[in-house]
Amino acid sequence: MDFQLSENQRALQDAARKYARDVVRPKAPHYDETSDFPKDLISAAFELGLLNMAIPSEYNGVGLTHLEQVIVCEELAWGCAGVATSLIANDLANLPIILHGTDDQKKRLLAPFGEKLKLSCFCLTEPSAGSDVAAMGTTARREGDEYVLNGSKCFITNAGYADQFTVFATLDKGKKHKGITCFVVEGRPQGLTTGKHENKMGQRASNTTTVTFDEVRVPVANRIGEEGEGFKIAMATLDNSRPLTASISIGIARAALEHSLEYSAQRHTMGKPIREHQAVQFMLAEMAMNTHAARLLTYESAQVLDEGQRNTLQSSYAKCFAADMAMKVATDAVQVFGGYGYMKEYPVEKLMRDAKLIQVYEGTSQVQRLVIAKELFR
């Protein structure tokens, strides 16, 4: 058990921190205000090797370990959580292929991401089947060497700019989760449409739209796994992606803590900096403790994966604790700033808005608690 980063991990952390500090942070307020898609920031990340982190190097990816990915992701989120979400959406979408694709599928569907900037999206959530994945309404039927997809997905990150779609659809609604199958749709074939960009409260730099499938044809060669294995693939994907989502929480919380430390040294009341008041000290101490605890949980959940073990329990611990922690830390940061914390001229109100989403996406905090309970009962 080693609690120190290696020299290579620190170098990777430094590179990601420099990108977040020099490239992302100066433009983050603009993208938060306008909700424009940060294509320039994503392009810069691609050139620096901070995109497609999960794709193995033999398929033109960066090939980072899970622990290295969460180290990088914390820095990205420290710069801007919306940008971080946009960047790791590729990893989320490609994980089903990485985990369950054949060698041929990996060569065809993963390798092009290393050749030029290309975005992918993970299409699981539906308007009437959010946490209840087994109630999925998007259907697939087989016709010869093709499947035909019909239905719609919502809240899909990067969908408006994606070149590839990892889609979960059911072959038989009556089978519930046992009917779900995973497909990869390349390009934007006839019948695939995306809706308007959602006007979100936070993480406004990430593109979020609906995706509709109207008789969209997918070759059998683009089915990931066997028929009926889609639910298992989706759950394994989320086990792998939860450490990344947790690390976004940590980046937000660390930024909120740092802003609070700086502001509390500058702001004076009753003749002294507010950080000398015990009430503020208690808040800062708890912010720091909980941020550090979340980081350790997240590192553990990533390390378990790197050791080739199942991490369902550890990743749910990390995602749930970190998401709730980030919301509390960001809210406390607004409190430290007082009335100024509520103003857009100051950075912490954005962090509070960004943090809220992590309690909702990729498994709500309530769903994580259900997962944890079920794992404990095992």
Q: What is the arithmetic mean of pLDDT over 289-303?
A: 98
Contacts of 106 (CB under 8 A, 6+ apart): 56, 59, 97, 98
pLDDT of residue 104: 97
Q: For 48-74, how does the pLDDT look when each residue is reduced to its tens digit (9 = 90+)?
A: 999 999 999 999 999 999 999 999 999
- The CA distance from 147 to 150, in Å, is 10
CB 216 within 8 A of CB 165: no
Average pLDDT, the chain: 96
Please determine, for residue 132, whether its predicted confidence score (pLDDT) is greater than 90. no
**Does the annotation mark 186 as catalytic?**
no
Tell which residue, 233, 147, 229, has the closest CA to residue 189.
Answer: 147
pLDDT of residue 277: 97
Determine the CATH number of domain 7-115.
1.10.540.10
Establish whether domains 120-230 and 232-377 are of one fold: no
- The CA distance from 325 to 293, in Å, is 9
Please determine, for residue 128, whether its predicted confidence score (pLDDT) is greater than 90. no
Catalytic residue among 258, 286, 362, 375: 362
Please determine, for residue 285, whether its predicted confidence score (pLDDT) is greater than 90. yes
pLDDT of residue 10: 97
Q: Which two tokens stand for residue 356?
A: 């809220």
232-377 carries CATH number 1.20.140.10: yes
Helices 66-79 and 230-266: crossing angle in degrees, nearest 10, is 50
Please determine, for residue 330, whether its predicted confidence score (pLDDT) is greater than 90. yes
Which amino acid is residue 230, in one-letter code? G
Right CATH number for 120-230 from 2.40.110.10, 1.10.3720.10, 2.160.10.10, 3.40.190.10? 2.40.110.10
Tell which residue, 98, 7, 114, 4, has the closest CA to residue 54.
Answer: 98
Domain ranges of the chain: 7-115, 120-230, 232-377
Q: What is the arithmetic mean of pLDDT over 92-99?
A: 98
Q: Which two tokens stand for residue 45?
A: 């990340």
Please determine, for residue 46, whether its predicted confidence score (pLDDT) is greater than 80. yes
Q: For 183-232, how does the pLDDT look when each residue is reduced to its tens digit (9 = 90+)?
A: 999 999 999 999 999 999 999 999 999 999 999 999 999 999 999 999 99
SS3 letters across 76-139: HHHHCHHHHHHHHHHHHHHHHHHHHCCHHHHHHHCCHHHHCCCCEEEECCECCECCCHHHCCCE
pLDDT of residue 260: 98
Q: What is the arithmetic mean of pLDDT over 335-350?
A: 97
Contacts of 350 (CB under 8 A, 6+ apart): 28, 29, 32, 202, 344
Q: Give the alpha-carbon dihedral of 199, 249, 363, 197, to 10 degrees.
A: 20
pTM of the model: 0.96
CB 54 within 8 A of CB 98: yes
- The CA distance from 168 to 166, in Å, is 7
Count the Cβ atoms, other than its own, within 10 Å of residue 102. Answer: 13
- The CA distance from 27 to 29, in Å, is 6
pLDDT of residue 129: 80
Please determine, for residue 130, whether its predicted confidence score (pLDDT) is greater than 80. no
- The CA distance from 263 to 172, in Å, is 57
